[in-house]
Structure 1
Amino acid sequence: MDIKISRIEEATSEQWDTVVNQCDYATFFHSRGWAEIWEEYRNGKLRSVAKYITFNDGVEVLFPIMVQKISRGLLKQYMSGPEWQYGGWLSLHTLNEKHHNALLAYSYKLSLIFRQNPFDKSFPTDKVPWNDIDYTQVLDLRQGFDSIRNNWLTEHRSAVRNAERAVKAGVTLEEGITEADWQAYYRIYELAVVRWGDNLKGEKFDWRLYDLILKRRTKNVKLWIVKLDNKIIGGAIRFYQNKHVMSWNKAILRDYAKSYASNLLDYELIKHSCESGYWWYDLDTSAGLEGVIAYKTSLGTTQLSANVLVNESAMKRLSNPFRTALLSMSQKLSKPFHKSEDLTRDLDAGYSGKIEEQNRLEVPR
């Protein structure tokens, strides 16, 4: 049978939510809520135009897409997944190569940017002319936390040892629920941005973005805070969707680096994710930094492709400087906030209380 797209229409809220909430390889970055947050954060300059695509064999696909005007409004730039995060299509049906080829052909007609979804195992990675080859490192939680902890004790003892040191020092972990919790964490994030200085890649997010996330009160986003002597000294934001947990953002006050609070966060959040039935704990891309890659590898992670496509055929309509700037931005947003020479290659040192190294392991976009 010749597989063809028979209908393309705007996705309804119900269609969008149904697919995202039931598709095993969906991430929070595919959700309607994430798109709506960015619509509001960008004051309507970035708009959702998600598509619901039907094939002549009855297969249905959700394609989350957003659009913004560029070149003084003369052209439209489409992206699947705002903030250069995972995009691509989702389906409750099994997609074969013909479905993917038709969807790729459709996407090539757009001036489209998207980062590959690493968890779509049927996606034809080798068929796409990627502009930026990249990967994320993920921890497979299906083995259970006892197995993961045993691996740490064998391969990376400091992951356990330093978490135990934090508990002994009196560091506690809890979910940040109130606006005051979120504001306290945001102030810590701001201080971290100041420390990064010229090494900061990408943009510093305003409090407004955090406030928009908080006000949605969604179960898919959690702020975890660490305290010492009842003072918030750091935290981490995690996105939860179906089988996937995403490490989006983490910051610790520099003066409390030796409390090992960062280590306790990682230890307890991985444990919590296992116990909650999630399959994947996503540690994000590492920008090719050997020390960071080695640390994540020692935790038992595997590498999954997370390449970036900037549709070159459509982009040829634009000037070379603009195309170069877009590619540069995609690379920057997957790069660390520290120069490589600032990072130790010693795995134990990477989690021994040095706040710069610890913050790098969570790249706030």
Structure 2
Amino acid sequence: MWPFSRSCQSKARLVGRTIVITGANTGIGKETARDLYRRGARVVLACRDLAKANAAAEDLKKVPPSKPDREQFIGEPGEVVVCKLDLNSLASVKECAKHISTTESAVHILINNAGIMMCPKGTTEDGFETQLGTNHLGHFLFTMLLLPKIIQTQKASEFCCRIVNVSSMAHEGGDIRFDDLMGEKSYNAISAYTQSKLANVLFTRELARRLKDDNIGGINVYSLHPGVIKSELGRHLNEGLFRGARFFFSILSPFIKNVEQGAQTTLHCAVDEGAAKETGLYYRECSPTKPSSNAQDDAKAARLWDESVKLVGLPSNNLSEIVEKVSKEYLK
């Protein structure tokens, strides 16, 4: 058990708030959903496998968090609904965003949690390198398509709306290879993963900057490292290609968190009252911390934004124009 794992200290109840979580049928996403559901929120599980998502929804309703007597869990739980989202497909991302935007009255919090790690070389439905496509580009488009609904929610609400991007300390070893984003010249599973996790942090930084520059207030953006966690995310480490990575994780095994512990920094960013005063930062153990120098490179963040806009086919790299055109065209 991890000896220095901090927990989210907020006792906030979330009655009346709607939260969308990607990849919430397993791992830390599921434990994040369990906590938020027990706080009274309406939680949308946006998942690729609907059967697993429905099973997770039933489990959340039946099984409380490990300490159900905590103040934030006293009271009626919220609601759990499921929605199909395959981040490997931009068509699926658009369909899910459209469904949520038209069926949900509000989106107060978006948690981009889903991800894959160190998988063999492959491409998404749209031809993107699998890890960059799933971990960054799919979430980038999903966020942009839900942003009009989040802005609408914020204007009608007294709450600070939040966008939480689950990254990793692995971003520290990453760089954005603009000359070979998709690993077509050379592919290394670990480098592709660290690039995608750095992209999460840079996206957070750039989105926060653009929201501020466009005077779109009341929406905060966070990225975070959840900890080293035993979950399905590391399933590809069982393949012979990654013996070195398996050895590394075996050394860390005494310090690996369980999934409930791993959800705590996500929960902090999503609900903590103090975090409502912060945006664009990177968190570890429920506190802001300094990311890598690459993750603080504003020029790199802006260039990644422009490249991402082109790759996912958005109509403009200007945030306000994206919001306007998404509302009028993309979700009709």
Task: Give the structure-1-normalised TM-score.
Answer: 0.25
Task: Give the structure-2-normalised TM-score.
Answer: 0.27
Pick the structure with greater CA Rg: 1
Structure richer in helix, relative to its length? 2
